[in-house]
Structure formats: structure tokens, C-alpha cells
Amino acid sequence: MRGRLLVVAVFAAALLSWHLGRPGYSDTEGMYAEPAREMVVTGDWVTPRMNGEPFLTKPPLVYWLAATVIAAVGPTEYARVWPALAGVATVVATGVLGGELFGATTGVLAAAVLATTAGLFVEARLLRADMVLVLAVTLSLLCYVRIRRRGRRGDVVVFWAALGVGLLDKGLLAIVLPGATIGLAEALRGELRPRTLAARLRALSAPLGAAIVLAIALPWHLLAGARNPGFLWDYVVNQHLLVFFDAKLPRDSIPDSLGFFWTMFLARGLPWSLLLPAALLHGWRRRGELTGLTLVGSWLAVVLGLFSLAAGRLEHYSLPALPAVALLVGLLLHDAAAGRLRVPPALLVVLPAVGGVACAVVAVREPAALLRAIDPALVDRGLEGLVRPALLPLAAALLGAAMLLARGRTRLAVTAWTAGAVALLIAAQLAHERVEAMFSWRPFAAAIRELTPTPRVFFRASDEYQLCGGLDYYLGGDVALLAPPGWVPPTFLEGHARLFTPRAELMESWPHGAAVLVGDEMPRGREGEPLAGGAYTVLLRAGERVLLGPVAARPHPVATSQR
């Protein structure tokens, strides 16, 4: 198994590192990149900062990791190397876990499935905390299985260390997800009851584990609390409890509907989620033969069930379920090849065939018309040439895989499917690069630097002031923030009067041509509404993002694009 899993790991590393430095950081990445940059500039690695003020809404691990890269080589998008490494490690951990639960071949197949899943490819190339969380959850469950089978002290230490590192990465969620998964699995097996709880905790060396978790996570929490009055209340109550009910203040995200959450879960599992219905039914019918299916099923149920109940859910919160999906699909494919399939063969064929036909039908449409139907802002950004190169190979791969599965040629089907997935992922990355200005402030910062004399930059966000992070990062300093309507500060920012700039300062600077305004949601025809007054010109627009300047401003030719 080790040799085959190593091949998958090398393949995953090559795929995830390709064009890793492109495009510029998105808004959510800017919320990690800028605090990391400010850590390096200020030398304060305890209190993350955004625009010069404390930014304590997330634990610090990803800030620290990114800061190590920035400190070594300067500001760079290659700070994404840490999520990419976490992605490769998750692929390996999933393969090893599959080997422990279902055998070596299933483990390798599960690793290959995960490595070519859209959700992992996207998330492992973004500078944010979610990929490290997925690794922490997967590694802790792998160690749990090993502890049950061998009881080695090393596995115990790694189990609790993974929880501690996860706590520094994403907060209590890193303990809740694996803890609830283990609890549900043991309850379903009849092992966990109120009277057996103490024994089950002793089996996991809970006293030692508590010491490991506290040693890893407690020092930063205590230091951050001591230096920032109000932090602990906001961190525990606002960020961990009220967020579940979409009741935290300030609101720094707009929750997704339940339907969109589930739709995006399936989208992030593509193209392999087309086999998920068959994999679920197959797993259900083999549950009495393979005890490991209880753990994998509980894993999937906990992640999707918890966030289905959470009013504050976001679509990417389903990511920790992807390794479980890969394990179920890997088991399905291995059993199909071995003649142990417990579902009608047609169930393996129908959805891939339908998916292939759908891709082919969409591919024959005029690419510009297709993009215009999705979002008119996507037209004329160089995406037209990527539509068919992405969809036609995927259509061929899915239809070919469906025919091969129908004939029992599972290994060739997996090869074809993987090739189609890689073509899709490469096209997605190229498209991501070509629409950079629609989600990254890097082109806006470049346009601002071309203006002479250098203007004062005002930033207006519709609801999330921290969207300025990417602009700060690429300008290399703070901007003047205009307060979003109805904004209520978190407790750790109470008394920080200079967080926002009075609108009067914009009014004073604008007529003299000494200011520009950057906004994140300004539909066409309404650019001037947020302005205090005075004539303006559009220096750069990308979708609903806009850079406005006084009529005297002379934009660089590249910055005048009205796309």
C-alpha cells in the first residue's frame, strides 16, 4: 500500500502546487494574509491585526503559518503552501484510514478520489483555516481507529495533539466534529452509554489528552485575553455560540440557505459525488460486515447534520465531510472491481452518464451566451475559450467511465474519471486566474499605485469592514475605513475610536483630488451614491467592485477597464 499511496501523494502535491501563486488573494484570503503581514511588521504575534486594529475573530494558527513565509521571503501568494501541504496530508491520512478500515486498495482509491475532488482542490489553494481543520479532523479519526486496534501511546499523543492544533486553527469546532463523530459511532455500536462514558474516556487517555490540548492551545488564549479586554467573551460567546444561530455582532457573513449548502456540498464533491448515492446504498447494505462503516457514516452525518441545523452556516462548512465521501466512494469502486457490489450496476452508470450528457449539451452552447446567463460580468474576461476545453473532456470521461463500469472494467473507469477530473480542475484554476479582479483587490491596488500624487484611499464595504484586508495587503498599509451601516463593534474593539474614519474627511479630501474610494458592492449606475459629493470618474470596475476618483484623477490605461 505504501508505494501506491506515495504515488497518489506525489500526484496530489503536483496538482495542488501548480500555479499556487496565482491569482491574487481573494477577500477571505485577505482576512488571513493581512493579519499575517501585520504580525511581521509589528513583531506582535499574539494579537492579530487588520488595518492596524485588533482582529480576533479567528484563532491564530493560519496567521502564524502565513507569517513564517512572509517573514522569510516577503509578501507572497505562496503563503498558500501551508493549506496545500495540509491538503496533501489529508489525502495521505484518508488513504491510511481507508486501509485501516477497509483494506489497502480501498485506501488508495479513497486517496485518489479525494485528491481529484473539486472541494479539496479549491480549498487547498486558499489561504484560510478550513483545510487545516479538515486535516485535524481526519488525522484525529485515523488515530482513534489505531488506538482502538493497537492502543499505542504514540497514536494517543497524535490524536490529542491534532485536536489541540485544530483548536488553534478553527476553535472548538475542531473538537466538536471528531468528538461527536466518535460519540455517535460508539453509541450506534452500543459501546457508549452513560454508565460507560468514564471507561470510554479512559480508553482514550483523556487526562493525558486534556493536558496535551491545554499545553498547545491555552497559552495563546490567555495571552490574547490579557492583552485585549473583551476578547474572551467575544471569542467564546459571540464566535462560538451566537454564530451558530446567526446572532453574533457584528455580522461578518451572510448565511447560506439549506438548499444552497447541500447543493454546494455535492458540487464540492464533483465529479465523484455522482457516485455518492450508489456509495451510500452500498455502504448501508454492507454495514453489518464492515464495522468501519459506522464511523464513516457517523462522520458524514455529524458534519452535514450539524451545519444543516446551524442558522449561521456557510457553504464551505461541509468540507470536513469530503474525506468520508472519498472513503465511501473508494469502497464502492473496490467492491465493484472485486465482484462484491451490493447495488444494481445501473446505479453506478446512470448518474455519470447523465452528467456526461449534460456536460456535452452545455458544451455545444455558445460559450459567451452561457457565461452571460450565469453572470454578465463574466463575459469578455477570457473565459469563453475555457468552457469547451473543460466540459468536453469531462463529458467524454464521464460517458467513458459509465460504459466501462457497465462492462465491469472498474479500474479503467477510475482512470478515465480521474483524467476528466484533472481537466476540469485545471480549467477551473485558469478561469480563477482570469477573473481575478472580481474577487481580489490586487488589480485595484496596482491601479491606485499608478495615480500621482498618491491619493488617500477610502474603503467602503456594505457590511464587512474586514474586506479591506486584501487591499491593505497589496497596498502595504492601512486605508481609511468608512463604517458600514448599523455596525456594532465586537467587545475587543470597544473604545477603538480610530477604527473608522469620519465621512467628513472624505468630503474634505475629495474636491482637491486627494482621495479615491474603493467599494465592494456598487451596481452599475449607482457608483456615486456612497460619495459625500463632487464629480467622480470610474477608474476601475470589476463586477460590483469599483474604484472611484475625482474627475481630476488620471487612471493608468490598464485601470480603465469597464468590464
pLDDT computed for residue 158 by the predictor: 97
pLDDT at residue 561 greater than cutoff 50: no
pLDDT recorded at residue 523: 61
Domain residues for 449? 442-560
Q: In this model, does residue 247 exceed pLDDT 80?
A: no
Counting DSSP H helices and E strands in the chain, the numbers are 23, 7
Q: Read off the pLDDT of residues 37-58 as tens digits, 9 standing for 90 and up.
A: 999 999 999 999 999 999 998 9
Question: What's residue 487's pLDDT?
Answer: 75
pLDDT at 558: 39
DSSP string covering 52-77: TEE--SS-SHHHHHHHHHHHHH-S-G
pLDDT range class, residue 428, cuts 50, 70, 90: very high
pLDDT at 559 (0 to 100): 40
Question: Is residue 271 reached through a cis peptide bond, with omega within 30 degrees of 0 on the bond before it?
Answer: yes
Given this model, what pLDDT does residue 67 score? 98
Domain count, the chain: 1
pLDDT at residue 479 tops 70:
yes
Residue 244 lies in a domain: no
| Residues 10-27 pLDDT 10s | 999 999 999 999 999 999
Residue with cell 485585549: 228
Length of the chain: 563
- Give domain status of residue 498, yes or no: yes
- The three cell numbers locating residue 180: 461527536
pLDDT at 253: 72
* DSSP E strand stretches across 10-137: 49-50, 53-54
Residue 154 included in any domain: no
Residue 514 lies in a domain: yes
Predicted confidence (pLDDT) at residue 130 exceeds the cutoff of 60: yes
pLDDT of residue 507: 85
Tell whether 523 is covered by a domain.
Answer: yes
Task: Name the residue with higher pLDDT: 463 or 375.
Answer: 375
Percentage of the chain lying above the pLDDT 90 cut: 73
pLDDT number for residue 556: 45
| Lowest-confidence pick of 218-227, 327-336, 507-516 | 507-516
**Mean pLDDT, all residues of the chain:** 91
Backbone angles phi, psi at 82, to 5 degrees: -70, -50
Assigned C-alpha cell, 384? 469563453
Q: Which comes out higher in pLDDT, residue 432 or 483?
A: 432
What average pLDDT does the segment 359-365 reach? 92
Q: Quick one: DSSP state of residue 236?
A: I
**DSSP 8-class letter at 256:** P
Classify residue 489: in a domain, yes or no: yes
Residues 140-191 pLDDT 10s: 999 999 999 988 899 999 999 999 999 999 999 999 999 999 999 999 999 9
- What pLDDT score does 497 carry? 60
In a domain, 525, yes or no: yes
Helix (H) or strand (E) holding 207: helix 206-227
Q: Does pTM top 0.85 for this prediction?
A: yes
- For residue 254, what pLDDT is reported? 81
Averaged pLDDT for residues 467-491: 88
What local confidence, expressed as pLDDT, does residue 452 receive?
86
User: Is residue 548 helix, strand or coil?
Assistant: strand
Q: What is the pLDDT of residue 483?
A: 81
pLDDT in tens, 496-554: 667 888 888 888 888 888 899 998 877 665 555 555 556 788 899 888 889 998 876 55
Average pLDDT estimate for 312-319: 93
Q: How far apart are CA 53 and CA 133, in angstroms?
A: 26
Strand positions, DSSP E, 367-432: none
> Which of 264-268, 388-392, 441-445, 507-511 has the weakest average pLDDT?
507-511
